[in-house]
Amino acid sequence: MRICLVSETWAPEINGVAHTLSHLSREASARGHRLQLVRPTPAIPAPSRSDGMEAELRVHGVSLPGYREVRLGLPAPRRLGRFWQEQRPDVVYLATQGPLGWSAQGVARRLGIPSVAGWHTNFDHYCRDYGIPWLSDPVRGRLRTFHNRSQATLVPTHRQAEELTADGFRDVRVMARGIDGERFSPFHRDPDLRQRWGAGEHTPVILHVGRLAPEKNLSLLRESCVALSEARPDACIIIVGDGPGRKALAAALPHAHFTGFIPAEELARHYASADLFLFPSLSETWGNVLLEAMASGLAAVAFRHAAGAELIDHDQNGLVLAVDDAGGFREAAVTLCQQPARLARLGRHARQRALTYGWPAITDTFLDVLAHARETPHAASRPRPA
């Protein structure tokens, strides 16, 4: 197949969407599929064509406030039309629900090219996190329209598939996210790194990895870290990531180590050199960092939401709390931090569970859905008069 990926983010940008698409494209290319990419021109200069791409179209974009590296793609129907008429894809994968995604979907429908849409971001939830809850329902309605104009929608969890289907979304399929179990592994544990953190062999190291922004439930992360420090004054707290919430969080946690964003190899060592992973976010569609932590042998405390609901069996391979139980989250983190044998047991089982999520199997699902869309186009993608 010739597959066109439409996305507002791409490697080396650091986020879940870029991470997922990088692995899917690498796997698909290795199997002989031809790939195209449509994306905004990156803020940081990059080669004119991304690795593995047969062709690439870069459109105008604008940077999001507070995230210069994140570009919102602008509509480009004429350029998209010419691009696809010259090298027509068999199917389009829409990894963005923004203006670029709508534009690409419209052109694909006009040309009779089938499309599949990915649910990578909970934009309707973000409305509540950013103080505009009254927009949540209208945004949800627009998302429903967008996704129902494609042949299928891919979501990362079974629970989300059930919720969207109940809300009128059609043809919802599940495609989880995968893990490289060699890159993220307990074997990368680094005593020298722990020593630089001031952690001895038996010192508990608590880790959080993610974008430091309001939608990530940073208030609960802060409260949990304060409670942990009070219970175990010797504990080391490591915060990996960056974003608009970093300054306030660093002020509230003056003894924590803030690394900013770090390269993948260094990130793997950070995971493996920690003991406990905190994941308080409730805005994720999945949460790649949770799977990475589990593959690295870490016990995690998370909510029964997104990857937390899909991956964690409570007290078997981590601790998972009801989404409205912030107090339980804090208590679980403090208790587990003081139980090294339990931490180790949960961490071993966490890795076993994570390794069942290999990228080859995830790519099988991705390609099967795209092939089905290509073979059974519905009315939404039949050529329309110019």
In a domain, 222, yes or no: yes
Please give the distance of CA 280 from its chain centroid, rounded to a whole number: 15
Counted domains in the chain = 2
pLDDT < 70 stretches in the chain: 64-70, 122-136, 377-386
pLDDT digits (tens, 9 = 90+) for 202-246: 999 999 999 999 889 999 999 999 999 999 999 999 999 999 999
In a domain, 367, yes or no: yes
Is 12 in the same domain as 131?
yes
3-state helix/strand/coil string of 193-232: HHHHCCCCCCCCEEEEECCCCHHHCHHHHHHHHHHHHHHC
- CATH number of residue 75's parent domain: 3.40.50.2000
Question: Which residues span the domain enclosing 38?
Answer: 2-178+359-381
Sign of the alpha-carbon torsion through 105, 109, 112, 117: positive
In a domain, 386, yes or no: no
* DSSP secondary structure letter of residue 358: B
Q: How far is it, in rounded angstroms, from Cα 31 to Cα 164?
A: 31
Q: Token match 């998370």: residue?
A: 302
In a domain, 154, yes or no: yes
In a domain, 69, yes or no: yes
Is 210 in the same domain as 262?
yes
In a domain, 282, yes or no: yes
Is 202 in the same domain as 343?
yes
Is 300 in the same domain as 215?
yes
What is the model's pLDDT at position 379? 45
Measured from the Cβ of residue 27, the count of other Cβ atoms closer than 10 Å reads 19
Residues 6+ apart with CB under 8 A from 379: none
Is 197 in the same domain as 80?
no
Strand residues in the chain grouped as ranges (E): 2-6, 34-40, 55-59, 61-64, 67-73, 91-94, 115-118, 152-155, 172-174, 205-209, 236-240, 257-260, 276-279, 299-303, 319-321
Please give the distance of CA 52 from its chain centroid, rounded to a whole number: 21
> Contact 277/207 with Cβ under 8 angstroms?
yes
Q: How far is it, in rounded angstroms, from Cα 302 to Cα 277?
A: 9
